[in-house]
Amino acid sequence: MQPLEGKKIVLGISGGIAAYKCAELTRRLSERGAQVKVVMTKAAKEFITPLTMQAVSGQPVSESLLDPAAEASMGHIEIAKWADLVLLAPATADLIARMAAGMGNDLLTTVVLATDAPVAVAPAMNQQMYKNVATQENIATLQRRGMTIWGPASGEQACGDIGAGRMLEPMQLVERCIAQCQPKLLQGKKIVITAGPTQEAIDPVRFISNHSSGKMGYALAEQAAKLGAEVTLISGPVNLATPINVTRINVSSAEQMHQAAMEKAPLSDVFIGCAAVADYRPTEVADQKMKKVDGSDEIVVRMVKNPDIIAGVANLTQRRPFTVGFAAETQDVEKYALDKLSRKKLDLICANDVSQAGIGFNSNDNALNLYWPNGHKNFPLASKQALAQSVLEQINELTQ
């Protein structure tokens, strides 16, 4: 069976020089079993003809928003409902800007607005246009709305410039289409993830916390959702946007996070404790702001242990999920990780050395050592997004 057998792909072509590659792209998609319908903008026809695209796709090419031959003259709705995937290649700066603005002033943009299929965008433009702040903000807007950005690649451009802005090659786009259309790795799984720090109040204006940015937990939530999981993110106070298709529960203190975790964990298949939870909280929280006391250079704040969230989940006797912990250490990483794995009865622990520069708290990168009973795997320095994918793949393997 072909990898794209029966898949319906709408290829949206806008007016860039890379449009000439779309004949090969269409042929390669068809070879792998896909049905391809081509939608072209007016500018796209200046680079490659509709007759060429009709010949390689075996389907009539759609060009006009107001097509009297379309069913009830609603061609954009027909095409939008037909698609399993909409691939915009090449996606020029103009097309990206119009989509970011929510415009529907031609057939292609109305198809994008009307479809509930995934939309993949393959940018192609001059390197300076790609770097322009407006283009970058428009791409970020599309990503926030759930569109997938494929590329661009870097290299020599038709204008003679060198830099980022080249459309990915046809086979690279075909490979991404295949990956997009495959069954999701975590489809049907329910995953609960804790992320960020907790804040333990001393008085109405002061609290005890830590340096956790929440980036690792949010990366896990984002990647898990992309892999098809139903994700609940229990988050301490962070300055991060909620990932697409993720349900977020905001908490402040460790006690609040514990309550949310113990409520959601029994309803999940996997629980990942990625939050940096404060071990202790003040025994008493002052009703008013604590003032300096004349003649005293010290203040005593009595502390009490917070509930151990990850151990509480791991020790559930009914509906216990596969339980994953994190260990941020500054020394003897393996020793402390293995001790925590055993002592808290975890299924998997992800440990890192936060004393190393450039990884851990507030960084976009990390390096992890994964330990489970009778197993170990090392993931060297990489982006937190890439590591999140690797961790989730390992969890999937261990839960089969």
Question: Residues 178, 4: contact at Cβ < 8 Å?
Answer: yes
First to last CA, the chain: 25
Task: Clarify whether 159 is annotated catalytic.
Answer: yes
Our CA angle for 130, 136, 137, nearest 5°, is 150
Catalytic hit among 159, 177, 274, 350? 159
Pairing state between β 322-329 and 270-273: parallel
Residue of 106, 83, 91 lying closest to 139 (CA atoms): 91
Catalytically active residues are: 159
